[in-house]
Amino acid sequence: MTRRVLSLSLAFVRNLYRTLLGMLPPVLTLLVYRLSFTYRNQGDPAYFTAMGGIGLAFVGVVTALLIADRANRAAMYSFIARLPRRAEFLFAVVVATLFITVAMAGLYTSLVLGFHMALTPIELLLIFPRWLSIFILSATLGLLMSRLASRHNSHVIVFVVLGGMALSREQIRYLANGQSSWFVDGVEFVVRPITDALTINLQSSDVLPALAVTWLYATVLLASAVWLFQRKDLLWME
């Protein structure tokens, strides 16, 4: 299975980079870099971890949507026909997204280290697993937001839920007439492990539960995408 998923994911990456859309992940990464270091020329490891993690997670979601869109076409019929399990097709989308997001993390890190700050190899080693767990989460979230894994327009529900979660605490409080809302509390509860994964002190082992929960979220999202895709009628257009 590993070989099939790797072959397919490399095909997805090449397929994306043969189009102009392949420029989008590096362009977005440069934008994230510009935005995170426009107002401060110097950063510290905590700032770099948090800003880079959030920005690159966004790049990961967009990349997953781009790859899933290109995988959701008739050109893929002959490939999916050769897979013993449909789920492998989705795994390949996630792996292809990770390849690109990790490469973009390399680009972002090189720019930051080249022009703004220094990080020790130990600090980089401590940051990588935090970012990787966030990247996996963003890849699986992007997959679930795509038409590829959508059944009965389930991807629209994901957009609505994310939109609701993106509303700031104050806005929701305002909408709820100043009352504390179960929705706000719920969103905070859900998002806390993700923010913890990016903000807890680099040397602290307190981050481990947050990383575990982030992986759990990614697993749940991927399992949901597989469940939706498994019994979906594939009527792909050219």
Partner 1 sequence: MIAFRNVTKRYGATPALHQLTLTISSGAIFGLLGPNGAGKSTLINLLMGFIFPDDGTLERGDWLPRRIGFVPERPAFPSRCPADEYLMIAGQLVGTNAAVLRNDIAARLQQVGLHHAARWRVNQFSKGMLQRLAIAQALLSDPAFLILDEPMNGLDPAGQKEIRDLIKSLRREGKTVLFSTHRLEDIAGVCTHVGILKRGRLVRAGSLDALAPLRDQVVITIAGAPTLQAIAALHPDITLDGNTLTLNGDAIAHKAAVLRALLEMGAEIQSLSHQRTTLEEIYLEAMR
The residue to which tokens 């220094």 are assigned: 118
Binding site for partner 1 (CB under 8 A): 3-4, 7-8, 11, 14-15, 18-19, 70, 73-75, 77-84, 231, 233-235, 238
- Minimum distance from residue 141 beta carbon to partner 1 (Å): 25
Which is nearer to partner 1, 162 or 234 (by Cβ)? 234
Which is nearer to partner 1, 78 or 177 (by Cβ)? 78
- Minimum distance from residue 16 beta carbon to partner 1 (Å): 10
* CB-based contact 139:94 (threshold 8 Å): yes
Which is nearer to partner 1, 40 or 82 (by Cβ)? 82
Which is nearer to partner 1, 74 or 176 (by Cβ)? 74
- Minimum distance from residue 78 beta carbon to partner 1 (Å): 5
- Minimum distance from residue 99 beta carbon to partner 1 (Å): 15
Which is nearer to partner 1, 170 or 238 (by Cβ)? 238
- Minimum distance from residue 7 beta carbon to partner 1 (Å): 4
